[in-house]
Amino acid sequence: MTAFLTLIIVLFILVAIWQMVKIFDLAQVGSSDSQVATDKDNKINGYMMMGFLVFIYAITILSFWYLGDLPLTSNAASEHGTEIDKLMIISMIVIFIVQTITQFLLHYFAFKYKGEKGRKALFYADNNTLEAIWTFIPVIVLAGLIIYGLFTWTSIMNVDETDDPLIVELYAQQFNWKARYGGEDNTLGLANVRLIDIDRANILGVDESDPYAQDDVITQELHLPVGRPVLFKMRSQDVLHSAYMPHFRAQMNCVPGMITQFGFTPSVTTADMRQNPDIQEKVENINNIRLANSVEIEAKGQELLYEFDYLLLCNKICGKSHYNMQMKIIVETQEEYDAWMKEQKVFKNSLINN
Amino acid sequence: MSANADTHSHDDHGHHHKETFVTKYIFSQDHKMIAKQYLITGILMGVVGVLMSILMRMQIAWPEQPNALFEALLGKWAPDGVMDADIYLALVTIHGTIMVFFVLTAGLSGTFSNLLIPLQIGARDMASGFLNMVSYWLFFTSSVIMISSFFVEFGPAAAGWTIYPPLSALPMAQGGSGMGMTLWLVSMAIFIASSLLGSLNYVVTVLNLRTKGMSMTRLPLTIWAFFVTAIIGVVSFPVLLAAVLLLIMDRSFGTSFFLSDIFIQGEVLHYQGGSPVLFEHLFWFLGHPEVYIVLLPALGISSEVIATNSRKPIFGYRAMVMSILAIAFLSTIVWGHHMFVSGMNPFLGSVFTFTTLLIAIPSAVKAFNYITTLWKGNLQMNPAMLFSIGLVSTFITGGLTGIILGDSALDINVHDTYFVVAHFHLVMGISALYGFFAGVYHWFPKMFGRMMNKNLGYLHFWVTAICAYGVFFPMHFIGMAGLPRRYYTNTNFPLFDDLANTNVIITMFAIVGAIFQFVFLYNFFASIFFGKKAEQNPWRSNTLEWTTPVEHIHGNWPGELPHVHRWSYDYSKPGHEEDFVPQNVPLYDGEEELQH
C-alpha cells in the first residue's frame, strides 16, 4: 500500500513538472527573451534570497525546537564526558554565531545589490586591512579551540595506569560483542585468534597455558562499577569494528591483528540515569511512539516498552548485520558489580574437556 | 573588441585535417568535444548515483517495508519488494564511489578543466590531445566496469566507499567482497590512470601554452583552481593506486599487507603481520585531498561566475590564489583526521587536529572574499549566479561543522554518525554539485552554442536549494543523537525511535529534490537541440573563451591567438564605457593595470 501510494505521488509530481515545463515553454513562444537575467529576474530572485535566509533561520530554529535535546551534549555518563560536552557546546556556539552572521551578509547582499540596468558596480578589488582582519579573527578563535581541544584529547587518551583501572577486553566479531574481564588478578591472559578452539568453547582464543588467563571471565553483557576507571582493550577476530559507547563519549576501532585501547570512568549508574528527568522524558516520548506502532513492533518480536540502557554499538561498517551489533552496558555500584561477577564462570571452568 | 579585430589571416596551427564522424564525436582529440563527453557521462553517472541515494533514503524512512520501486529496480535483491541488507550496503558503497569519483571528480573537473583551460589561457588545444582522448576513454571504461558490478552474482562492492580491509579483502566476510570488489578495484585502477593522464595534461597545458601576455597573475581563478587541483591529483591519486594494487595482492595472491590474525567462518586464515590501519593511511592520503579535488574546481567556477555576474572584480584576487595554494598544501597533511579513533597513536591525533583546523583559515578567507565581492555589486541573477551564491551558503554551513569533526576530542563522539554524513554532503557534495550546475548554466552557451532556459534554471535552483537544506540540516541533529551511519535499519535500537519521523521528513525532501533534477535534465538535453541561439558573449564576460566564435572550430580561434593585456576581472572599471573589459583589450593611454 505504502509503495503504491509512493508511486502515485511520484507519478503526480512528474506530471506536475511536465505541466510546468510546458507552461514555461509556451510562455516563451514569440518573446525576444535572450535567457539572460533581466531587472525583473534580478528583483524576484533578490527577494527570494531574503526568503531563503528566513528559510535557513527557520529550519535552524525548528531543528533546535524538535531535535534540540542533543543527547550527545548533555548527561554524559563518564567523567571525561562532561569535558567533551563543554567543548562541544562552546564549538557549537562559535559555529552558530558565525553561521548566523555570514549567512545574513551573503543573502542580504544578494538582495540589496540585485542588478538594475544603468547602475554600475563599485570597482573594489582589494583591501589588505580587511583581508588581515578576516585572517586573524579565525586564527585567534581557532587557536583557542585547538588548544582547548588538544588538552581535552590528551587528557582523555593518556590513560593513567597508576590508578589501577579495571581491565576489560572488548572482543568484536561478525556480528556480536563479548567482554573479557581480568578476574581476581585484573590481568588479561594472552590471546590470539589462532588459539580459538570452538570444540573446547575457547571462542576468544585465550591462551589456556597462561596462568593469568585461568581466572578470566567472558560475558555477553558489559557490567561496570561506577566511579572506577576502566581501561578497555579492544580486539577483533575478523574485520574492522568500532566500539561506540555514545553515552560515555567513547569510541575506538577494533582492528584485527592489533590491540587498541580506550579508558574512561563511568560516573552515573544505569539506575540513576533512569531517574534523570531528561532521560525519563525521552523514554516516555519513545514509548508513546512505540505504543502507536505496537502492532509492527510486536510482530518483530521486540519488547513493546523501552527502558533506558547504556549501549555499545558497532560503528564501523562490518557486513550484513552491522546494523544490529550491540551489547548492553550496565553501570552499577561496586557491591552489585561484585555480586554479578561472582555468578560468572571463570575461563578455566568454561572450557569443555573432551 | 573581439579577438578577430587585430588578427592576421594566416593559419599556422595545422589542425585542418579531414574529420570523420568517429574522429569528431567518438575518438575526438578536441578538448571541447572531450569536455562534452565528460559532461554527459558525468550527468548519466549522476543520475545513477542520485537514484541509489533515493533507494537508500526510502529504506531508512520505511525500513523493511515492501516497496514496488525496490522490486522493480533491485530484482532478486529485494525479494517481495523488501530491500536486502547486503544490497543496502552495496548502494551505500557505489553511491559514494560514483558521486565522489565519477561525478564530482571526472564529471566536474574533467568537463570544465578540459573546456576552459585551453579557452581561458588562449591555447589551440590541450598539450596532448591524444592523452586527453585516452583519459576520457579510460574514464568511460572504468564507468562501465563500475556499473557492470551490479550484474554479478553476489552484487557490487559493499564495504563502503572507503573499502577498508579486511571486510573488502575477504569474500567470506561479505557477498560484495567477491567479484564485486574485484570489479571495483579494477575500475578504480583504470579511473586513476585516467585521472592522472588528465591531470598531467592540465598542468602541462597551463604552464606551457598560455598565450602572449597571460602571466600567472592574470589567470582567471578558474584556471588557478583547475591547475592546483591537477597538482593535488598527481600527488595523491598514485597513493590510492598503490593501496588498490596492494589490496589486489592481498585478495588474489596471498600477501599480507593489510591483514593479520583473522578467524572467520570457523577457520584461521594464513595472513600474518599486516595492518588495516596502513590501508587507512594510504586511502586517506588520497581520500582527504580528494575532497579538495572535488571542491576547488567548484570554488574556481563560482569565483568566475560571481565576479562576472556581480559586475565587480573578485575581491582579493591574490588572497584567493594564496588560499587555494594554502588549502592544497594543507590538504595533503590532514588525512589523519579521518582516523582519530582508528587505533593510531593519540599523539598523531593531536598533530592532525592542529593541521586540520588550520584549513579553516584559508577557507574563511575565501568565504569572506565571496561575500565582499557581492557587496556594492550590480548582481545579475542568472541561474549560474544563484548556484554560486548557493555554493557559498552550503560551503559555510557545511564547513563550519568541520570545526567539530576536525577536533579529535569531539570526533570521538560524532565519528561515523549522521553528523559526518550531513557535514560532508553539504561541504563537498552539495557545494561541488552547485559548482557543477553553475558551470553548466554559465558555459552551456560556449559548449553548445545555445542558451538554457532561465526560468527552468530558477525553478531548479530554488527547489534544489530548499531540499538540500531540508535533507542535510536536520541530519546534523540526528547525528548529534548518536545515530551511526551505514545502518540498514534503526529499528533494533528503541533508543533511536524518536528519530524515525525526522528520517521520514528527510527522505521526503530527498525525493522531491531528486525529482526536480529532471527539470535540469530536461532543460539540458532539450536546450542542446532547441535552446535559443546564443550570442558570442551572453554574460558580457572578460575571459578569453567568449572571444571565440559561437560555432566551434578546431583550434578555437580563427587566425592568430588573442593577446592578453590585463587580468580577467576588470568589471565596472572607472574610465571605461562598458562595465566589462575583456582581457584582450589593450590598456588605453595612461590606464594603469591594477597591481594584484
Please report the residues numbered 199 through 238 in chain B whose beta carbons come closer than 8 angstroms to any beta carbon of chain A: none
A228 close to B (CB below 8 A): no
Q: Is the dihedral of CA B508, B511, B517, B522 positive or negative?
A: negative
For the CA atoms of chain A, what is the radius of gyration? 29
For residues B524 and B478, is the Cβ–Cβ distance under 8 A? no
Q: Where are the domains of chain A?
A: 162-350
Q: Which residue of A has its CA nearest to B402?
A: A95
- Phi and psi dihedrals of B181, rounded to 5? -70, -35
Please report the residues numbered 334 through 393 in chain B whose beta carbons come closer than 8 angstroms to any beta carbon of chain A: 341-343, 346, 349-350, 353-354, 357-358, 360-361, 364-365, 367-372, 374-382, 385-386, 389, 392-393
Q: Where are the domains of chain B?
A: 29-261+268-547
The C-alpha atoms of residue A56 and residue B422 are separated, in whole angstroms, by 15
B481 interaction partners in chain A (CB closer than 8 Å): 67, 69-72
Evaluate if pTM is beyond 0.95: no
The residue with cell 585531498 is B289
For residues B581 and B569, is the Cβ–Cβ distance under 8 A? no
The C-alpha atoms of residue A250 and residue A247 are separated, in whole angstroms, by 8
Shortest CA gap A218–chain B (Å): 18
Contact flag A95-B159 (C-beta cutoff 8 Å): no
The C-alpha atoms of residue A212 and residue A228 are separated, in whole angstroms, by 22
The C-alpha atoms of residue B509 and residue B517 are separated, in whole angstroms, by 13
C-alpha closest to that of B235 among B349, B348, B330: B330
Per-residue burial over B282-308, b = 16 or more CB atoms within 10 Å of its CB, e = otherwise: bbbbbbbbbbbbbbbbbbbbbbbbbbb
Q: Give the list of residues 6+ apart from residue B393 with CB closer than 8 angstroms, or none.
A: A56, A103, A106, A107, B465
A310 interaction partners in chain B (CB closer than 8 Å): none
- Mark out the alpha helices in B4-128 (DSSP H runs): 21, 31-61, 68-74, 85-97, 111-121
| Mutation to test the A interface, candidates B83, B403, B453, most A Cβ within 10 Å | B403
C-alpha closest to that of A25 among B174, B455, B252: B455
Shortest CA gap A214–chain B (Å): 22
**Residue A292 CB burial class (10 angstroms; 0-12, 13-18, ≥19):** exposed
The C-alpha atoms of residue B173 and residue A172 are separated, in whole angstroms, by 14
C-alpha closest to that of B396 among A220, A128, A320, A138: A138
B573 close to A (CB below 8 A): yes
Which CATH number, 1.10.150.80, 1.20.210.10, 1.10.1670.40, 3.30.1490.20, labels domain B29-261+268-547? 1.20.210.10
Shortest CA gap A282–chain B (Å): 8
Task: For chain B, 596 residues long, give each residue's pLDDT as a single digit of tens.
Answer: 333 433 444 444 444 556 787 888 888 899 999 999 999 999 999 999 999 999 999 999 999 889 888 988 888 899 888 999 999 999 999 999 999 999 999 999 999 999 999 999 999 999 999 999 999 999 999 999 999 999 998 999 999 999 999 999 999 999 899 999 999 999 999 999 999 999 999 999 999 999 999 999 999 999 999 999 999 999 999 999 999 999 999 999 999 999 999 999 989 999 999 999 999 999 999 999 999 999 999 999 999 999 999 999 999 999 999 999 999 999 999 999 999 999 999 999 999 999 998 999 999 999 999 999 999 999 999 999 999 999 999 999 999 999 999 999 999 999 999 999 999 999 999 999 999 999 999 999 999 999 999 999 999 999 999 999 999 999 999 999 999 999 999 999 999 999 999 999 999 999 999 999 999 999 999 999 989 999 999 999 999 999 999 999 989 999 899 999 999 999 999 989 889 999 999 998 888 887 65
Tell me the sheet residues that pair with B570.
none
Contact flag B276-A255 (C-beta cutoff 8 Å): yes
The residue with cell 533506558 is A308
User: What's the DSSP call for residue A320?
Assistant: T
Q: What is the largest CA-CA distance in chain B?
A: 85
Q: How many CB pairs under 8 A join A and B?
A: 434
A98 close to B (CB below 8 A): yes
Q: Which residue of A has its CA nearest to B261?
A: A257
Fold of A162-350: Immunoglobulin-like (2.60.40)
Q: Give the list of residues 6+ apart from residue B120 with CB closer than 8 angstroms, or none.
A: B219, B220, B222, B223, B543, B544, B545, B568
The C-alpha atoms of residue B185 and residue B19 are separated, in whole angstroms, by 36
The C-alpha atoms of residue A305 and residue A282 are separated, in whole angstroms, by 13
A61 interaction partners in chain B (CB closer than 8 Å): none
The C-alpha atoms of residue B455 and residue B248 are separated, in whole angstroms, by 50
Contact flag B403-A152 (C-beta cutoff 8 Å): no
The C-alpha atoms of residue B524 and residue B517 are separated, in whole angstroms, by 10
| Contacts of B130-133 spanning 24+ positions with Cβ under 8 A | B130/B29, B131/B197, B131/B200, B131/B201, B132/B29, B132/B31, B132/B34, B132/B197, B132/B198, B132/B201, B133/B27, B133/B28, B133/B29, B133/B34
The C-alpha atoms of residue B109 and residue B229 are separated, in whole angstroms, by 8
The C-alpha atoms of residue A223 and residue A340 are separated, in whole angstroms, by 8
Shortest CA gap A331–chain B (Å): 17
C-alpha closest to that of A134 among B371, B423, B402, B392: B371
Q: Give the list of residues 6+ apart from residue B559 with CB closer than 8 angstroms, or none.
A: B4, B7, B8, B9, B10, B11
Shortest CA gap B10–chain A (Å): 34
Dig out the grid coordinates for A52 from the structure: 531563503
Task: Evaluate the omega torsion of the peptide bond into residue B166 and state whether it is cis, within 30 degrees of 0.
Answer: yes
Shortest CA gap A60–chain B (Å): 8
| H or E, element range at A261 | strand A260-264
- Phi and psi dihedrals of A48, rounded to 5? -60, -35
